[in-house]
Structure 1
Amino acid sequence: MNDYSEKGLLPAGLADMLPPAAAREARINRTLMDVFAANGYQQVKPPLIEFEEHLLEGAGAALASKMFRVMDPVSHRMMGIRTDMTLQIARVATTRMKRDPRPLRLSYSGQVLRVHGTQLRPERQFAQAGVELIGSKATAADVELILLAKEALDALGVTRYSIDLTLPTLVPSLAEGLGIDPVVAANAREALDHKDAASLEGYDAPLADLLIGLLKAAGPAESALAALDRLALPAAAAAQVEALKDVVAELKAAAPDLQLTIDPGEYRGFEYQTGLSFTVFARGVRGELGRGGRYQLVDGEPASGFTLFLDSLMRAVPRQKSEDRLYVPFGFDRKAALKLRQEGWKTVAGLAAETDIAAEARRLQCGQYLTPEGVTKLS
């Protein structure tokens, strides 16, 4: 094929990441992993592809429609390309690290691939970085993870972000406590998630009143909790709200500046979560920056974690000034150039004698060039 424009054409949702974007993503990833490591989270690296049934085990079934599948020519078994790394970390925790002391703190980063993008994230391949805290039911674990997400975002220089808390199991608990038919309960949960007030008002009391109350409760944490307190929830649902109040109180004490909102009825994207969950948003940034929450491993062990999406983070992280690229003319002493790199410069060496060093530096996108007098900045 000689048509180079055709060679550059990629499938929808896939793209080449070029300079300087690729370096910027790598820098963001390094910052995240350094913050996770500083908080005691050890990095693991699962494979990009593994047996299909392992990826679809337990909560992974909810992601079946998003998975690319291939036939392994060696084992003649179906394999799947990961759509999310959380479930792979769960597999590692229940197998290779089953006997490691709990709570187990693990971190990860890598690429994922999905069959379809979404309206907010049309990309089908993107990078994730996140953590999992395995083996603790304590609310302190939820608090630790949310504060860790805050620390990571602050380290990246992200501003004007908020963390939206939700209880994906609240409506099922409420419906069970009221003895509501499971089909009716599922439809009500769907209507609440879509903020369909007209449909919610069509249910019988007290279900309709409680659902409308949950719908109106969404908003800033303090007003949302006050609204939830006014609802006569069944015992199991009320216990979830009390746990949420404890988490909010601890977060406010530890990070008074953290902006918290609550949407008690949201569950889309949290299909396998079993408790408190959250989404991270930033003003003016398309798509969520990340999401996380509680879930259970296939052996019933409690776990919680969060994933940050690097494509969204690249839209939220302030752009730094261009890299300190220093043009080093042809023939310059190599040991001196090495010393410059050790001082933090990024050197671009000339490979042939130049008649106009400044012009060559500009052509190669360097901000500075080297002369016998020292470093000279391009005007």
Structure 2
Amino acid sequence: MTDTPNPALLPNGLSDGLPPRAEHEAAIGDRLLAVVRGHGYQRVKPPLIEFEESLLSGTGRALVHDTFRVMDPVSQRMMGVRPDFTVQIGRIATSRLHQEPRPLRLCYAGQVLRVRGSQLRPERQFTQVGAELIGADEAITTVADAEVVVMAAEALQTAGVTGATIDLTLPTLPAVLFDTHGVPAAARPALRAALDQKDTAAVRERAPSAALGDLLVGLIRATGPADEALAAMAALDLPPAAAQRHADLAALVARIQAARPDPALTVDPLEGRGFEYYTGFGFSIFAPGARGELARGGRYTAGRGDRVEQATGFTVMMDAVLDAIPAPVPPARVLAPEDADPRLVARLRAEGWVVLDALRPLDDPAAEARRLGCSHGLGADGPVVLG
């Protein structure tokens, strides 16, 4: 005899969104989008699944191991379920919208699915909300970068997040230093892993020269509040390409601080985990009460082939945001009897009341209202608090 599986049983990392959290997530997502739309960002809606050669090309190559793939029974071609929105937005911008004026400002919201979760975020399906600024002139990249960071902070604050910290990083800096110091390709993964773990002893051991080891350890120790970290970086003997990245980061920090002094800014110059396809700076936003980061973003290359553009964007992880903000206050619910005045019911709903319609005559309206989770009954003149 075969046991019938529990119908509520779902695969690891997947879950049903239930009241009131599902409704709260939708409301907060709308609030975030309202902020970015107020900055001129227009919403797009890419498909949940598309051909893998477009989804996993260009910057999408960094997402290969996160992507579910299936065979399309119609075309007999492999397709991928999006693990992230950014690559899709870049494709839309550089193909369907390539003739639109630049810079192009786009935003989005929807579900993503990943092959596996992480220790901090075991969920494999979750909602992302975000925005991308694509095609800004090279001369104003710092201005564009600052717009995105400041807008992300503003959106999260509007959603109710307090005590946020913005952590800035230079994910391409290790590669610049490896190139300058001639680190062999075979030695780079182990050295990169030591940097990710902030293991200074391993960094010195795996660096091919004492000079590089000292420099990398100095950069690890430069992690901290933005002004202090930038000063510590400036005291190091950075090669010209690395010094330019430091100067660009300093200019970005100054612009962010001038526009929005309230979020704390920190710098971790060598952090690269999760920023694999970024070509410039990267940033993460953290807040008390949340597991991991609330948002992540930075500068990257959108598109592929001969249609590529510089872009800056951010993605908000809605599950983390909900953990960082107060739980919603349930709206007052009213049970309207079967013969209630429809004009009164319509007015109450327009005022923000949740009004449930009784589907049959009630012998005890108050008892039925309590059973359905209502705090009020409905009298001739309006809601009546249940005793």
TM-score (norm 1): 0.96
Deviation at 1:373, TM superposition (A): 4.6
User: What one-letter code is carried by the residue in structure 2 that aligns with 1:251?
Assistant: I
Within 2, Cα distance between the matches of 1:148 and 1:3? Answer: 52
Within 1, Cα distance between the matches of 2:240 and 2:87? Answer: 31
Where does residue 156 of structure 2 map in the other structure? 153
Within 2, Cα distance between the matches of 1:301 and 1:291? Answer: 20
Where does residue 366 of structure 1 map in the other structure? 374
Q: Which runs of 4+ in 1 moved over 4 A?
A: 2-5
SS of residue paired to 1:152: helix
User: What one-letter code is carried by the residue in structure 1 that aligns with 2:148?
Assistant: L
Where does residue 176 of structure 1 map in the other structure? 179
Where does residue 308 of structure 1 map in the other structure? 316
Deviation at 1:187, TM superposition (A): 2.8
SS of residue paired to 1:275: strand
Where does residue 26 of structure 2 map in the other structure? 26
Within 1, Cα distance between the matches of 2:153 and 2:49? Answer: 31
Deviation at 1:32, TM superposition (A): 1.2
Q: State yes or no: 1:140 paired with 2:143.
A: yes
Deviations 1:331-367 (A, max 9, x none): 1111221111112211111112223322221211122
Deviation at 1:252, TM superposition (A): 1.1
SS of residue paired to 1:224: helix
Equivalent pairs counted in the alignment come to 379
Where does residue 230 of structure 1 map in the other structure? 235
Contact map agreement 2:219 2:270 (CA 8 A) in 1: yes
Within 1, Cα distance between the matches of 2:52 and 2:371? Answer: 49
Residue correspondence of structure 1 range 1-379 to structure 2 within 5 A:
6-136=6-136, 137=138, 138-202=141-205, 203=207, 204-297=209-302, 298=304, 299-378=307-386
Deviation at 1:100, TM superposition (A): 0.7
Deviation at 1:378, TM superposition (A): 3.5
Contact map agreement 1:189 1:265 (CA 8 A) in 2: no
| Farther-moved stretch of structure 1 (303-312 vs 354-363) | 354-363
Is there any run of 5+ residues in structure 2 with no aligned partner, and where? none
User: What one-letter code is carried by the residue in structure 1 that aligns with 2:163?
Assistant: R
Deviations 1:258-289 (A, max 9, x none): 21111111001000000011011111211211
Q: Percent identity?
A: 51
Contact map agreement 2:94 2:308 (CA 8 A) in 1: no
Deviation at 1:330, TM superposition (A): 2.2
| Farther-moved stretch of structure 1 (49-58 vs 331-340) | 331-340
Deviations 1:99-143 (A, max 9, x none): 111100000111111111111111111110100100123100110
Within 2, Cα distance between the matches of 1:115 and 1:178? Answer: 37
Give the direction of change, closer, same or farther, for the CA distance of 1:206–1:85 in structure 2 (3 Å limit).
Answer: same
SS of residue paired to 2:46: coil
Contact map agreement 1:287 1:312 (CA 8 A) in 2: yes
TM-score (norm 2): 0.94
SS of residue paired to 2:167: strand
SS of residue paired to 1:266: coil
User: What one-letter code is carried by the residue in structure 1 that aligns with 2:190?
Assistant: N
Deviation at 1:179, TM superposition (A): 2.8
Within 2, Cα distance between the matches of 1:293 and 1:126? Answer: 21
SS of residue paired to 1:59: helix
Within 2, Cα distance between the matches of 1:96 and 1:126? Answer: 27
Deviations 1:193-213 (A, max 9, x none): 111111012232210111110
| Farther-moved stretch of structure 1 (324-333 vs 95-104) | 324-333
Aligned-pair Cα RMSD in Å: 1.7
